[in-house]
Amino acid sequence: MKMAIALAQDKTTEGGNQTNPITVTFDSTPTAGNLVVVAIAMNNIGKFSAGDVTDNQSNTYTKAVSQEQTTANIKHSAIYYAENVTSSGTFTITVNIQTVNDDPPTITATAMEFSGAATSSSLDQTSSGSDSGSSAVSSGSITTTEDGEVLVSVVGCDSTTSISAGTGWTIVNSNTSGQNQGTEYRLEDTGTYTGEFTLGASENWACCVASFKEAAGGGGPAGDDEEFTVFGLGASF
């Protein structure tokens, strides 16, 4: 059987105007072996790349997906993840984005710990989208390949008054100061899904979505009855 994915905890840091790097520290020590997903939104001219996200536990973070909106008031969003994390004591994540000029970005980052996720090859599907001057946000659709996956979506946008989750999604963060950022998640079986948000006004935005697979478990479903014979004793149970 599979091990059901669950959100263990989340934490958000809004870094303030042109503050880079920023750090996110979980309130509790994550459980070793869990999945950590980091959803990022930023403005200004920057570049997402390997090494942007690190922690004080020497875990490796991989970029799942990123999106840039370049029409006006440049917006970016991205999702990074670390599988099968090593964890002990205070767990602090650092987000340090490479800038392409001397003007540092303004960053908001949400870190999420999930239990029950695959400890390797967990990433399944990704998609991203952007627009200028609309309040309906869409990442574009993904079709998951396994039951029980967790989907995470993030949007970075202009100075909207509100960020609401799409139907079927649970909001994790709705930040409307500094770098505006919304993060949501859902647990779903195989199907086609789209990261969706509704903004309080028409804005420039960039949105991403990524899905992650469940861990494989052992044994059969709880409550199954089995019959077996102890050879030589002629008894069945």
Q: What is the pTM of this model?
A: 0.88
Distance, CA of 111 to CA of 119 (rounded, Å): 17
Residue with tokens 């990433």: 123
How far is 157 from 146, CA to CA, in rounded Å?
Answer: 31
Q: What is the pLDDT of residue 233?
A: 41
How many domains in the chain?
Answer: 1
pLDDT in the model for residue 232: 44
Residue-level pLDDT at 211: 98
Task: Provide the domain limits for residue 202.
Answer: 2-236
164-170-176 Cα angle (round to 5): 35
pLDDT tens sequence for the chain (237 residues): 466 999 999 999 987 666 778 999 999 999 999 999 999 998 876 678 778 999 999 999 999 999 988 766 578 899 999 999 999 999 999 999 877 666 777 889 999 999 999 999 999 999 999 998 889 999 999 999 999 999 999 999 887 678 999 999 999 998 776 678 899 999 999 999 999 999 998 988 999 999 999 998 633 333 333 333 343 444 444
Closest CA to 189 of 233, 156, 135, 148: 148
How far are the Cα atoms of 114, 143, 229 from residue 79, in angstroms, in the given order? 14, 18, 52
- Could you write out the DSSP letters of every residue in 143-199? E-SSTTEEEEEEEEESS-S-EEEPTT-EEEEEE-SSSEEEEEEEEE-SSEEEEEEEE
What pLDDT shows up at residue 104?
73
Compute the Cα dihedral for 16, 70, 181, 95 and give only its sign.
negative
